[in-house]
Amino acid sequence: MVATEQKSWWIAFFLSLFLGFFGADRFYIGRTRSAIVKLFTLGCFGIWWLSDLVLIASDWRKDAWGRPLKH
């Protein structure tokens, strides 16, 4: 897996807010396996959606390569 450019915090936040039930935020930041699970469970019935939204908003969520999201 090759690391790409640093992902945007704003894009990740809005993807999580509006399309988080479908795993769009996790696909964007490179966490593909968990994004597929999130897609098929509709955000684990809202639990993952809410936790991801809070983690991104509080700046705790990192991309798949361990880098913080850029503002």
Three-state SS string across 4-16, please?
A: CCCCEHHHHHHHH
pLDDT at position 3? 60
First to last CA, the chain: 24
Mean pLDDT for the chain? 93
pLDDT of 69 over the 60 cut: yes
| DSSP-assigned beta bridge partners for residue 68 | 62
**Segment 23-56, tens digit of pLDDT:** 999 999 999 999 999 999 998 888 999 999 999 9
Instruction: Give the residue among 66, 22, 24, 63 at the shortest CA–CA distance from 44.
Output: 22
What length does the chain have? 71
Domain boundaries, the chain: 19-65
Q: What's the gap between Cα 28 and its chain centre?
A: 6
